[in-house]
Chains A and B, each alone.
Chain A
Amino acid sequence: MKGVAITGMGIISAIGNTVEENYVSLVNNEIGITTIENISTVHAAVIKVGEIKKTNQQLVDELQLSPDNNFSRTALLGVIAAKQAVRNSGITSINEYKTGLISATSVGGMDMTERHYYDYFENEALLKYISCHEGGDVAQKIADELGLEGMVTTISTACSSAANAIMLGARLIKSGKLDRVIVGGTDALAKFTINGFKTLMILSDDYNMPFDNNRKGLNLGEAAAFLVLESDAIVKKENKKVLARVSGYGNANDAFHQTASSENGNGAFLAMEKAFQAANLKPEQIDYINVHGTATPNNDLSEGRAIIRIFGDENVPDFSSTKPFTGHTLAAAAAIEAVYSVLAIQNDVVFPNLNFKTPMEEFNLIPQTTLKHKNIEHVLSNSFGFGGNCSSLIFSKSE
């Protein structure tokens, strides 16, 4: 059997609190892009975000955490998604097999740091939040809530982080180092990232329009998603249902600029090429590309050119960006889109690339703009980040 088995998944995003809710939103064009409510920011009137409409307190209550907890929002979202994934996989005894957790985040506990920054010196009750700043704290909390004891680590390669977590997880299973691994990512909205992307002038004041000639930038989002990967030995022994398989993965660096992508998408091209090699698949076998498609002028041009270089001008398969639904959820994005890729395979659908009207003048790439039903065997999912970090994953139907 090709690829590593995915036996469970969980997600919380702006378009739903479960896998099912996300699917219903995707097939009904129900977007999650709104005005920001949970963070007080001077930019509220000029940005739109993919925000999860639950307060931290609501999330704390849902998880039944003690009042003296020091969970960042990133950790709260991560725990919710990871618990769903474990439940979905039918796992009752987490440490029964050699199990690991590979998480991904870019902001970590920045939401708490920016909220309490100066107050730490005034209010002793807030000191508990100091240790939740670092990225590793999120993974530690997820592991604790799952009762997981084993290998736990975190990847942070900006917007490609979760793709690399999925890739590492698949490699750990393949090499036999782990029998089971929970992989994914989580990022909460924060003033830090809102203002960061604002200064880079890549935030749209309107709904994001991937691959449209008049695209104005991205909408930030927040989300978490985790997948359970298991060895074929476990799948066989426990007669597990395999949702889909991770069949290919590639990671390359654009080595062009700290934040901008190269004109011809060299890093993106190499990442996709490596993913095809790892999966032993040809580009023409891909039925759907879930593109990175952030709707920034730079990304979509660079990614589009890389896609044309891989597939050829006339042979680009159906593709769409699902970021008009969720916003760009940074380190979590590749995990969110991994769940969507699996849903595409399970339901034989291509999700629509909303808000597209005008083809880009640089090339003739037209995304799939409506829900399309067709057999889906293989999905390519792209994720690219600051620092030139480019990663591509291929998900395949389990035979």
Chain B
Amino acid sequence: MRKTYINGVGCISAQKTFDTVFLEEAEINENDTILALKVPVYKDFISPVAIRRMAKGVKNGIAASALAMKEANVTTVDAIITGTGMGCMEDSEKFLKAILDNKEEFLTPTSFIQSTHNTVGAQIALGLQCKAYNLTYVNGSVSFESALLDAKMKIEEHEASTILIGGIDETADFTMSVFKLAGFIKKENESPYKVLNSTTKGAVYGEGATFFVLEDKKQDNTYAEVLDVEILNKLKADEVEAKITAFLKSNSLQISDIDAVVLGYNGDVEFDTYYKTLSENAFANTPQVYYKHLSGEYNTASAFGLWVGAKIIKTQQIPEILKVNSLENSEYEKILLYNQYKGIDHSFTLISKCLNLKS
């Protein structure tokens, strides 16, 4: 079976992740309930005329995908597959608000046109003039993993050799305000918002765009191999370990083979038990990593998690800022990622160091 390698990454997040090595300038913000993005200079990637029309998510998606392609040294791709939980919220809100406020009169189509979930994938295709396979997944916290799984299948089917995948979500004012009402976002005046050992409900939110170039061949700049990804809609906290064991077994591995586990802790006291159970039991002797204190929670934050995992393998070190426990390994070869949101849309992603450089 053909293998899948991560050969380029591009990440736009609440940290400086597009022009640094690996979170050396990361800052922890425990005072805000929504983390602000560190934006790149968009005009390096997009024409100034186009920038004015584009919502954040589209700009970030284009910039992050360009960075990933540049790093992988590719100019064309055989597929563009994106994931987004909430889609283009800014334009959706703008159009919906106009409908309601103006009683369905005096509307212009621009924000409607840009409100569809596939806008980012479409705009990237348009920019690259790429007529290849193009798909967008929108399923909560497995939106990105669905794209990853599809891409891996495409490579295994010999349908594609170079694939661009990405996870994009953007914050928008109205949605964030109703998310606060619903309690998805932490209450104001409960700071400092710590992700580990939190005692409050909800999460600190964020946004971002994280892209990867996946290829069937190893290159000099390869980060890691994607061994497997699994998506499960519903699990109880005490069922996760058995599912992980089965997932690893299907890859001829066991928990002791995992050199680091990347967990999707988001500080929601109601649902972090999913991770805590693993931290305290199955992976008690494994170096543990968390990242949503840096990225914030959003449906495709797990793409930021994969970026973290890939960077650990490439640099062979775990920055202090990411550590859940103080364990270390001399080598980081196999890394498992686990994520869920509110007890649904679980994903396991398994990546591995490439043992010899040339395939």
- List A residues at the B interface (Cβ < 8 Å): 41-43, 101, 105-106, 108, 110, 113-114, 117-118, 120-121, 127, 130-131, 133-137, 139-140, 143-144, 148-158, 164, 168, 171-172, 175, 177, 191-192, 195-196, 198-200, 251-259, 266-267, 270, 385-389
Contact = CB atoms under 8 A, between A and B. Distances in A.
Contacts of A158: 116-118
Interface string B209-253: 000000000000000000000111110000000000000000000
A64 to B, nearest CB: 21
B327 interface: no
B179 interface: yes
Query: How large, as a class, is the contact surface on chain B?
Result: 35 or more
Contacts of B309: none
B354 interface: no
A12 to B, nearest CB: 22
A389 B135 CA distance: 8
B135 A43 contact: no
Contact of B134 (A113, A117, A157): A157
B357 interface: no
A100 to B, nearest CB: 8
A133 B178 CA distance: 11
Interface of B: 80, 85-87, 92, 95-97, 99-100, 103-105, 107-109, 112-119, 121-123, 125-126, 128-140, 142-143, 146, 150, 153, 156-157, 174, 178-179, 181-182, 184, 230-234, 299, 344-345
Contacts of A140: 140, 233, 344-345
B140 A156 contact: no
Contact of A175 (B92, B140, B153): B153
A137 B86 CA distance: 11
A253 B138 contact: no
B273 to A, nearest CB: 19
Given A155-B137, A196-B95, A255 B232 contact: no
Given A150-B233, A388-B125, A120 B181 contact: yes
Contacts of B123: 258
21 contacts: A114-B99, A131-B182, A134-B140, A135-B138, A136-B138, A152-B233, A153-B143, A155-B135, A175-B157, A192-B99, A192-B112, A199-B108, A251-B135, A252-B133, A252-B134, A253-B132, A255-B129, A258-B126, A259-B113, A385-B116, A388-B122
A200 B125 contact: no
B134 to A, nearest CB: 4
Contacts of B181: 120-121, 127, 130
Nearest to A103: B139
Contacts of B146: 153
Contacts of B125: 253, 255, 387-388
Contact of B231 (A105, A106, A151, A255): A151
Nearest to A143: B233
A195 B125 CA distance: 27
Contacts of B115: 196
A113 B114 CA distance: 18
A155 B137 CA distance: 4
B28 to A, nearest CB: 28
A155 B136 contact: yes
B134 A153 contact: no
Nearest to A270: B131
B233 A114 contact: no
A192 B131 CA distance: 29
Contact of B178 (A41, A130, A139, A258): A130
Contacts of B299: 134, 136
A108 B88 CA distance: 13
Contacts of A196: 95, 109, 112, 115
Contact of B96 (A137, A153, A192, A254): A192
A195 to B, nearest CB: 5
A150 B153 CA distance: 18
A24 B291 CA distance: 56
A127 B182 contact: yes
Given A106-B116, A136-B140, A168 B233 contact: no
Of residues B97, B99, B123, which shows the largest number of chain A Cβ atoms within 10 Å of its Cβ? B99
Nearest to A177: B153
A108 B156 CA distance: 31
Contact of A117 (B96, B108, B122, B139): B96
A113 B156 CA distance: 40
Nearest to B112: A196
A135 B89 CA distance: 12
Contacts of A148: 233
Given A151-B233, A153-B142, A155-B137, A387 B118 contact: yes
B178 to A, nearest CB: 5
A305 to B, nearest CB: 16
B131 A267 contact: yes
A160 to B, nearest CB: 9
Given A121-B181, A134-B138, A387-B119, A153 B231 contact: yes
A157 B113 contact: no
Of residues A101, A136, A148, which shows the largest number of chain B Cβ atoms within 10 Å of its Cβ? A136
Of residues B92, B104, B113, B131, which shows the largest number of chain A Cβ atoms within 10 Å of its Cβ? B131
